[in-house]
A and B are shown apart, each in its own frame.
Chain A
Amino acid sequence: MAHIDLKNDLPGIRGLMSYRPETAAPLNLLAEILLRSDNSLSRGDRELIGAYVSWLNNCNFCQMVHSGMAQYYLQCDSDFIQSVKADYDSTSLSPKMKSLLAIAAAVQKGGKSVTEEHIKTARQNEATDMEIHDTVLIAAAFCMFNRYVDGLGTKVPDNPSYFVERAAYTAAQGYADFS
């Protein structure tokens, strides 16, 4: 049961967004831009960063949702997503993505944990300034979303197929009018 009376039965962040639609609007717009700007970082890459940070933050709802999204875009199986969380360095991800995940992991600990060395490695792996910017902000945003979802004790669907079924829907609809 959520810590406050949300006056709805929606799971995770959806229940919070329905409770306070004013703040939901900019939160969704931020997610839309950060997770669906399909430039040099693909939507799959962006969702994978979000899933990884959510996993580090131990936020079950967010990590299930965004793992489902990453899996959908990357057209991989859940074992691959699991292996990224367990040890992304041993996966077939590009060196650039590995260096961006290292930056995301540092951001999850604290902004000051991002070192010159992290940035240098990302650049050697051909990450651009915009990719580094977006990685830091995606990781930082998930440190917000995760705390929002768990800090208010929202409920998590116990049926894992919820997340798989919803991924295709969210991929088609986007986040801007997410509800």
Chain B
Amino acid sequence: MPHIDFKNDFPGIRSAMAYRPETAEPMGVLAELLLRDDEGMSRADRELIGTYVSHLNDCFYCNYSHGAIACIYLGGDEELVNQVREDFTKAAISEKLKSLLNIARKVQQSGKAVLAEDIADAKTAGASDRDIHDTVLIAAAFCMFNRYVDGLATVTPTDMSSYPKRAMQIVENGYGSHVFKNKQPA
């Protein structure tokens, strides 16, 4: 049961956002800018970073919500999403994405855990300053989203078939207040 009375039955972050739409607004804009940008890194890359950080933060709702979104962008390759969660160094992804996931892993621990050598490795693998910036901010933002979702003990749907449906809603319409203003996908 959630720690506070959200006065709605939405799952996960949607319940907290519906409860406080003023703060939901900038969080939705931030997610849209960071996760649905195609410059330097694909949408799938960005969602994989969010999925991986949520996995490290043990936030089930975010982990499986963003994993489902990444999976759609990857043409249904759920195996790849699982490989990234379990051990990205062995996943069938580019060296650049591996070096960025390494930076995300450090950010999840602490900002200071990111070392000059992590940055140098990413640059060697072809990452631009903007790729590194976005990776750090995506990882940092998920350290917020994950804590928001679990810190208020929001409801985590147990019906796994509901995750791809909400994911498709995001793929089709993007992030934003529609996720708690419109009817939830069945």
Contact = CB atoms under 8 A, between A and B. Distances in A.
Interface of A: 3-5, 16, 19-20, 22-23, 25-27, 29-30, 33-34, 37, 57-59, 103, 106-107, 110-112, 114, 116, 119, 129-130, 132-134, 136-137, 139-141, 143-153
A143 B109 CA distance: 10
A147 B107 contact: yes
B136 interface: yes
A103 to B, nearest CB: 8
B183 interface: no
A145 B148 contact: no
Q: Most chain-B CB neighbours within 10 Å: which of A27, A58, A129, A144?
A: A144
Interface string B52-75: 000001110000000000000000
Interface of B: 3-5, 16, 19-20, 22-23, 25-27, 29-30, 33-34, 57-59, 103, 106-107, 110-112, 114, 116, 119, 129-130, 132-133, 136-137, 139-141, 143-153
Contacts, number: 145
B4 A23 contact: no
A112 B145 CA distance: 13
Contacts of A58: 110, 112
B52 to A, nearest CB: 15
A118 B110 CA distance: 24
Contact of B3 (A110, A132, A139): A132
B111 A33 contact: no
A151 B139 contact: yes
Given A133-B16, A136-B151, 7 more contacts: A20-B137, A26-B29, A34-B23, A140-B143, A148-B111, A150-B114, A152-B114
10 contacts: A3-B116, A4-B133, A33-B26, A111-B151, A133-B20, A136-B151, A139-B147, A140-B147, A148-B111, A148-B136
B115 to A, nearest CB: 9
Nearest to B144: A144
Q: Is the interface of B mostly helix, strand, loop or mixed?
A: helix
Contact of B26 (A26, A116, A130): A26
Q: Most chain-B CB neighbours within 10 Å: which of A33, A103, A132, A148?
A: A148
A25 B27 CA distance: 11
A144 B141 contact: yes
Contacts of B19: 133
A16 B133 contact: yes
B111 A149 contact: yes
A144 B150 contact: no
Contacts of B152: 111, 114, 132-133, 136
A153 B106 CA distance: 13
A37 to B, nearest CB: 8
B149 A22 contact: no
